[in-house]
Structures are given as structure tokens and as C-alpha cells.
Chain A
Amino acid sequence: MNGVRSKQEKVFAAVAHVVLSILTILAIAPFWLMISGSLTDNETLTKFGYQFWPKVFSLEAYQYIGREWAQIGNAYLITIFVTVVGTVLSLILVSLTGYALSQRDVPGLNAVFVLILITMLFNGGVVSSYIIYTNVVNVKNTIWALIMPNLLLNGFNVVLVRNYMRNSIPKELQEAAEIDGAGPFYIYLKIILPLSKPILATVGLLTAVGYWNDWTNGLYYVTDSKLYTVQLLLNQMNSNVQYMASHSDIQMATQNIPSVSVRMAIAVIGILPILVAYPFFQKYFEKGITMGAVKG
């Protein structure tokens, strides 16, 4: 019997291939349509709509982006800056806090832990956050508006890192170092950090994707177009187009609204870095999902 697959198993495998192929096509098709649209001549696009294969091939949209690189390039730089700085800061915070909380012989840590748990259970809601970040700690139209609110640190990641440091790193290592007279900062830098790479890679990756994709912070706190990220630029173009559509009597400078193919091209270059990097971080991403670090 071993190795021989029953007829029923073959049928199941065939059905599985069919269903998963359909899902694969559904997952790819929209991106295909978007890329094809960005490579289509704008006039053709307006006439025939988005097609899965460009009727008239054109690089005009990308040439336009090249000419307008001042604005789009700036958005790209802001996105990269926010992603890198935000992720690095977040990793420093989460590893320091996780390490501190993983200690067993320091009084008061349980109280701190409870304070962090409370942040996971209860929040003041969007409006109070908005009032605090515009009135008390004013981040409006600063780069911090894109880095600080909500994305920098969350209790869940702290708990994940703390549990890893506590359960997966032998405590004898730290005890031996302490007997040798090493202080907490030395132990954190030389022993704990190098051994925490797997968990920090997972947490850091999810944080980075979160920063790259974020547009809500900008929506609330950024009106200065110099601080637009790629996502915000795309969002803003959407709003402008809608504004035009609902105020057709107003003659706005139409050339400020990029054509349909250009908008798709900007979206394409917005997702390109993630698509290119994805195969390399897929492993960590899937691990993050099963650990529950990615909120569904």
C-alpha cells in the first residue's frame, strides 16, 4: 500500500490544484492589469479601458514619472527614510524593553508588564489620539507624524520578544556573564541581541512593511506635500480626481492631475520594492503570521 496513492487521493489532489490555480490567478490578475495599464498609451487606455495586454504599448507613463521625479522621488525618499528610521527605532525600543522585562530578579517588572498589557486591551480611540498628537505632543506636519503614532511600538511585539528572550535563550549564559561582572547593557549588546536575531528579524520585518504601507498617519497629521510618502501621494491623487469629478464646473489646472496610466505607473513603483524583497522575507512573514504577530 505504501507509496501507492488511492484513486480518491488523486481526485483530491486534482481538485486542490484546480482550486489553488484559480486563487493564484485571482491573486495575480489585478496586478497584471495594473502593470499592463501603466504600459498602455494613455489615449488607448481612455478609449478601451484597462486591458490585460496593452493594445498600444507605451512607456510614456514612466517617462512622465522620470520628468516629475522631483515630487515622486521626494515621496520615495520620505517613504524610505520613515521605513528605515521607524524600523530601527522600533527594534531598539522593543529589544531593550523585551530584555528588561525578561529579567527574573528585578522588582517592579510585573507592574510594568501589566501597564503594557493594558495598552493592548484598551485604547482611547482615534479622536483622543488625534487630539493628543495635535495639541499635547504636536507632531502635525513633521516627519514624526509618520513615525510616532501607533507604528513605533506595540505591546504585542514587546511580549513576543520578551518571551523569546526568556524562553529560548538559556539563562545560564546571562548568569555566567553576571558572575564575571558584566553589566546589563553589556549583556544586552553582546549576548542577548546576537541570540535574538530570529525574533527581531520577524518583528522588524512586520514593522517595516507596516511603515512602508502606512497612509493613515499621513491622512490625519500631514497636509504638507513635501512630507508625502508614496502611499500618501497615491491617496492624494485619488482625492484630487474625486474632487474634479464632483466639481466638474470648476476649471482646475487639469495638468496637475496625472493621467490614468501615470497613476497606475506610480502605484506600480510603489509596490515594486515590496514585491522584489518579498521572496527574501517570506519565511519571516509567514512565521509572523503563525506567531500571531500579524493582526488579521
Chain B
Amino acid sequence: MKAKTMGKRRIRWKKVIPIYIMLLPAMLYFLINNYLPMYGITIAFRKLDYSVGILNSPFNGLENFKFLFASGNLGPVVRNTLLYNIAFMIIGTVLPITVAILFNEIRSVLAQRFYQTVILVPYLMSMVIVSYLVFAFLSADTGFINKSIVEPLTGNSISFYQEKIFWPFILVFVNEWKSIGFGMVLYMSTILGISTEYYEAAKVDGATKWQQIRYVTLPQLKPTIITMTVLSISKICASDFGLFYQVPKNSGTLYSVTQTIDTYVYNALMNQNNIAMSSAASVLQAIIGFVLVIVCNAVIRKVSKENAIF
């Protein structure tokens, strides 16, 4: 209230103008990086005519979208995006929480530091590096799994980069391998915040370890779990481009099980130069994403207000 009345009293230009100048560079950046692309959404509703430029091409309504739906590519791509995200969501909640709870049982601070340091390392790596690591295991000619396990046992080798059935498991595994440290640190910070009095009270009442986890730890984690889940739901149409592009090495034979909206858009744009279709798909993704963020944020506000984004 005080700030408001002060502001109304008089505007001190000697302060206000420098403050506005300070905002200028960032606002210019947001204009170029965020607001111009928002205008660029209109590309999805235009018939491309390079003679007048992409951004001045005439409008053609929903033609591009009709074309996109008629192409028949969208079905598997959307299915992959949703199913992978659901799998990531479930495993990415259960596993890190289990590990965080176990981690909390370790009394040695030195051991804790060691485990946490090492388990977080994969999270620091770029997906290009991850794809090299995966290749060292899966390569048909030189991969560790083929050369040291499959070939000695069966005499044959598996062409992982040609075989679809493995990839849902590989991608889920790689994703969890990379992100488990992140989830662990996140849930650990909540567990560390739980007052020890709860546990002492439970012990006095004769609660076993299981009961302590069931009736103290898990309920205290609930707000974090809900926030993280709602956040994942709001991003259910988005996928980690790096994971789905780099790790399967953009292998065409695997597309039906590895292609998500993001890799589909990339391939349509950069390899087929199909701006009409890729912009339609990308705009569809952006709009659904926006609606989901709004809905999910409303849900978070209801559950735990301090975790809401706005």
C-alpha cells in the first residue's frame, strides 16, 4: 500500500527514465526472440509465395492444417509424443521419490555427497554426448552389448538402430538415466524440509519405517508431486527434441516408434523444406501447450498457491 501511495504522489523522472533505459535491451530481445515469432504464427495460415516473402504471403485459412491432417503422418507422431510423456511422467515420479527416500536413510554425509555428485553427472551432459554414450553400447559393429554379450552367446548381432521394438525401452531408460539425479535433488530438498519432530512423534507411537514413509514422508511430498505432475501434463505435447533426435540418430526406419511432434516439425522444416506443414504442426503444438499451461496453472493455484507460475 505504501509503495502505491508513494507512486501516485509524483513521478521522479530522474529515476524513472534511467529505469526505463535499463529495461530497453531486454525488451528489445523479447520482441525479437518471443514476440516476432508469435506474429510468425500467421505463417501457418498463409499460402507461401516467395516472390512477396514468407511473412507477406496471402492468407489461405486452414488449408495448411487440412493438408497436415490429410497427410496421415500426424497420428503416430501424436501417439508417440503422448505415450512417451505419460511413461516419463509415471517413472519420473516413482523412481526419484523412491531413491530420495532411500538416500535419506544414509547417515554418512560423505557417502551422501558422493552418491549425489555422481548421480547428477548425466544431467549435465548434452544429448549429443548422450547419443555417443548410447552408441558405444548399442552399435551393431562395435557396441559393447553386441560384441561382449550378444555375439558370444548367440553368434549373431542385433542391429539396434534398425529394430523398432527396443526403442520405447531404450528411450525411457535413457531419459530416466539422464534425469534421475534432477528428480532426486528436487524431492530431497522437500524431504530435508520435513521437521524431524514428525518422525520422532511417529517413533514414540511405535511406527515402523514403512509406516513413517507411508504416513509422514509421502503426505509431505504431496504438494511437490502434484506440482511436478501438473507441470508435466502442461508439457504433454512437447518433447525433448534432443532425446528423440540424437539418441535414435534420426534413423528413418525407427520413425514410427521414435518420432515426436518436435522431431517431426524439424524434419518437415529442415529436410523436406515443407514450411506449410511444419508451421501448422508447430502452431498446433504451441496452442495446445498454451491452453494446457493455463488450465494446469489454475489447478496448481487451487492445490498449492505458492507453486503457481502466475
Contact = CB atoms under 8 A, between A and B. Distances in A.
Interface of A: 8-9, 12-13, 15-17, 19-21, 23-24, 26-28, 30-31, 33-34, 37, 45-46, 48-52, 93-94, 96-97, 99-101, 103-109, 112, 115-132, 135-137, 148-150, 152-153, 155, 158, 178, 183-185, 188, 209, 212-216, 219-220, 231, 234-235, 238, 242, 260, 263-264, 267, 270-271, 274-275, 278-279, 282, 285-286, 289-290, 294, 296
A30 B55 contact: no
B23 A100 contact: yes
B279 interface: yes
Given A112-B23, A178-B15, A124 B40 contact: yes
Nearest to A270: B129
A235 B242 CA distance: 11
Contacts of A27: 118-119, 121-122, 177, 181
B129 A234 contact: yes
B22 interface: yes
A96 B22 contact: yes
A251 B260 CA distance: 33
A106 B118 contact: no
Nearest to A267: B132
Contact of B246 (A37, A93, A235, A271): A235
Contact of B133 (A31, A135, A178): A31
Interface in B1-30: 3, 6-7, 11-12, 14-16, 18-20, 22-23, 25-27, 29-30
Contacts of B285: 125
Contacts of A107: 7, 11, 16
Contacts of B136: 30, 33-34, 37, 50, 264
A34 B105 CA distance: 33
Interface of B: 3, 6-7, 11-12, 14-16, 18-20, 22-23, 25-27, 29-30, 32-41, 43-44, 53-55, 98-99, 102-103, 105-107, 111, 114-122, 124-129, 131-134, 136-137, 139, 141-144, 146-148, 177, 179-183, 185-186, 189, 208-209, 228, 231, 241-242, 246, 249-251, 262, 265-266, 269-270, 275, 278-279, 282-283, 285-286, 290, 293-294, 309-310
B14 A119 contact: no
A152 to B, nearest CB: 6
Contacts of A97: 22-23, 25-26
Contacts, number: 305
A148 B83 CA distance: 33
Given A20-B115, A33-B137, A124-B40, A234 B208 contact: no
A135 to B, nearest CB: 6
15 contacts: A12-B105, A19-B99, A23-B119, A24-B115, A51-B148, A52-B144, A105-B7, A109-B19, A127-B269, A128-B36, A131-B55, A137-B32, A231-B126, A289-B189, A296-B182
Contacts of B181: 27
Given A125-B279, A129-B37, A9 B15 contact: no
A12 B102 contact: yes
Contact of A16 (B105, B251, B262, B282): B105
A105 B15 contact: yes
Given A124-B41, A127-B279, A16 B179 contact: no
Contact of A279 (B105, B117, B133, B310): B117
A184 B19 contact: yes
Contact of A294 (B34, B182, B208): B182
Contacts of A93: 25-26, 29
B15 A106 contact: yes
A135 B22 contact: no
Contacts of B270: 219-220
A132 B40 contact: yes
Given A124-B38, A135-B54, A185-B18, A282 B120 contact: yes
